[in-house]
Amino acid sequence: MPMCLKNKLLSQIKRDLPTDESSESVWIPRKKARESRNEGKQDTKFEWSVFSKISETLAKHKFKGMRLNEQTKKAWFCKYIGESSVDDGGLFRDSMTEMCEELQSSCLDLFIPCGN
């Protein structure tokens, strides 16, 4: 099958995916997550890390937020516990940054760091 036809077919499938109009709100204990990560603790039970809270909330709602048809939509809305802020895009990006930092650190046992 030609590549242009594959791309066209995949675009059509993506457009036809059912989506949830309202993104899910994720309550994140960011202060606790940062303190624990800085102390060198590991979230072996997936209780306090930003990654665990986001994945837990998305799993509860069958990952509806991950099926987006528009670039302007966000997969979830962040609400940081103990912080007064409104997610207008910055908190979502911040949560993505926090998740990436956790995945690259030793607080989650998902990846093994290597020298390469």
110 lies in some domain: no
Burial of 41 (C-beta count, 10 Å sphere; 0-12/13-18/19+)? middle
Work out how many domains the chain is built from and give that number.
Answer: 1
pTM of the entire structure?
A: 0.69
CA distances 112 to 36, 84, 103, 105, 109, Å, are 19, 35, 10, 9, 7
d(C-alpha 36, C-alpha 50), whole Å = 11
2 lies in some domain: no
Its domain, for residue 33, covers 23-104
The string of pLDDT tens digits covering residues 13-60 is 766 655 445 567 888 888 999 899 889 898 888 888 999 998 898 888
18 lies in some domain: no
1 lies in some domain: no
**Number of H-type helices and E-type strands within the chain:** 4, 2
Give the helix/strand (H/E) hosting 28: strand 24-28
